[in-house]
Structure 1
Amino acid sequence: METMNRRDLCAAMAAFAFLGCGFSEAQSAVASEDSALAQSKVFRFSDLPVKQNENGGWGRQVMQGTLPTGEFVEVHETMLPPGKMPHPPHKHRNTEFVLIRQGKLEFLNEGKPEPVGVGDVIYTASNRMHGLTNVGDSPALYFVVSVSHGQA
């Protein structure tokens, strides 16, 4: 059996590293092609089921899945009755964008309340305490777009 010198060992290690990269990229390509979001598509609003929430509101799951670029994305619509919160203030690792479609809301941003209304967009950074309350006299409607690395 021949012994390997340092030059041979370095060349072999580089070759293994190169092969590892190739296998990793091939697995990512296969995973992204298998993803529900690998192809462009339309999510028909009329086809999306509505789920009743405990607070008297409702939610509509639009989509969720992993993008070909690796981010996990989840989109839903919520109807929040007057005076209600979807849940207590909280924080999580995913980032959220909240697009206000109807109503008057109060966004609790790290303990500081901020008024938001129709057409406003809330950005919630990862791991920041936040909450939402409908402070209006009518139901509020908004979409949430949640983005994270890996499933949230």
Structure 2
Amino acid sequence: MKVIGLSILFSLFSIMSNAQLSEVKSGVYKWSELPVKKGVQREGRKIMEGSSPHFSFLEVHATTQEKGAKPALPHTQDDIEEILIVKEGLMKMTMDGESQILPAGSAILIPPLVEQSLQNVGDGPLTYYVFMFKSKANTDIERSEKAGGAMFINSESLVFKPSKKGGRLDYLERPTAMCKNLEMHVTKLDGKGPSHAPHTHIDSEMVLVIEGETEMSIAGQTYSGKAGDLYLIKSNEHHGISNVGETPCRYLSFRWY
């Protein structure tokens, strides 16, 4: 009997129900409250699924593979773009025959029609987030290819840029097959206080807390988040994030429209 990976199962179920999805909710999605689905040497956590102001389909989940877990078979997505973020462990990622070994904090951009497979090659568990999305506008493969196509972003190759409040790591800013612009960066705040003044923008945004204790205001509501938690801010919602802990915080933001 063939065993299908949790990531592929999530993808199949999500695509089958795509036409029936309601819009995802802004706010915080807490790691400790996510239901866990067990598989063979792996487990999955469904974080959100629905539509959004710019996407007809948006689905986020996290998968943990144990050491030595059998890798999923290579596969492609016809009309879905993906971003993977390595939470812990060491991942071997292969796209269209090219492989790289990626540590925690690394990211992968996978356009539609790119063959992909991954494997846990570390000495412990591999946990990674998967963000899957389809634009309400037409998919633009040519735009993606002109901007660089599929991308491996090794966290160890990024350059930290200090600031008065801490600093940041820039991952990417470019068009993709599904986005007119997609921007990703990590912010570090050394002390208590806001990153910047509350504001709005046309982009929708997700903020993944990597370290520390944070507080986010979204459309008049206040939420708290620590490592592993994910904030969602939809287009034009007034928002702002602060470090509320006694130690530095770090969080990965990505914005799209």
TM over 0.5: yes
Task: Report the equivalent of 2:164.
Answer: 54
Find the counterpart in structure 2 of residue 109 from structure 1: 218
Q: Is 1:119 equivalent to 2:228 in the alignment?
A: yes
Q: State the Cα RMSD in Å.
A: 1.7
Name the residue aligned to 1:143. Answer: 252
One-letter amino acid of the counterpart of residue 52, structure 1:
P
Q: Deviations over 1:62-107 (max 9, x none)?
A: 1111112343111101111221211100000001000011111111
Amino acid at match of 1:35: A
Matched to 1:144, the amino acid is S
Task: State the structure with bigger RCO (CA 8 A, min sep 6), 1 or 2.
Answer: 1
* C-alpha distance in 2 between matches for 1:122 and 1:70: 20
Q: Which residue of 2 aligns with 1:34?
A: 146
For 1:36-115, list aligned pairs within 5 A: 36=148, 38=149, 40-55=150-165, 57-115=166-224
The TM-score normalised by the length of structure 1 is: 0.72
Judging by fraction of residues, say which structure has more helix: 1
CA–CA separation in structure 1 for the residues paired with 2:219 and 2:242 = 14
Counterpart CA distance in 2 for 1:143 and 1:70 is 18
Q: Distance in 2 between matches of 1:52 and 1:78?
A: 10
CA distance in 1, matches of 2:222, 2:236: 17
Q: Partners in 2 of 1:29 and 1:105 — Cα distance?
A: 37
Moved over 6 A (4+): none
CA contact (8 A) 1:100 1:143 kept: yes
Structure 1: 5+ residue runs without aligned partners? Answer: 1-24
Q: Structure 2-normalised TM-score?
A: 0.44
Considering only CA atoms, is the larger Rg found in Structure 1 or Structure 2? Answer: 1
In structure 2, what is the equivalent of residue 132 of structure 1? Answer: 241
- 1:41 maps to a residue whose letter is M
Greater Cα offset, 58-67 or 112-121: 112-121
Relative to structure 1, the CA distance from residue 110 to residue 48 in structure 2 (aligned partners, 3 Å threshold; closer, same or farther) is same
Give ranges in structure 2 of 5+ residues lacking alignment.
1-137
Corresponding letter in the other structure for 1:34: K
Measure how far apart 1:50 and its partner are.
Answer: 1.2
Superposition deviation, residue 30 in structure 1: 4.3
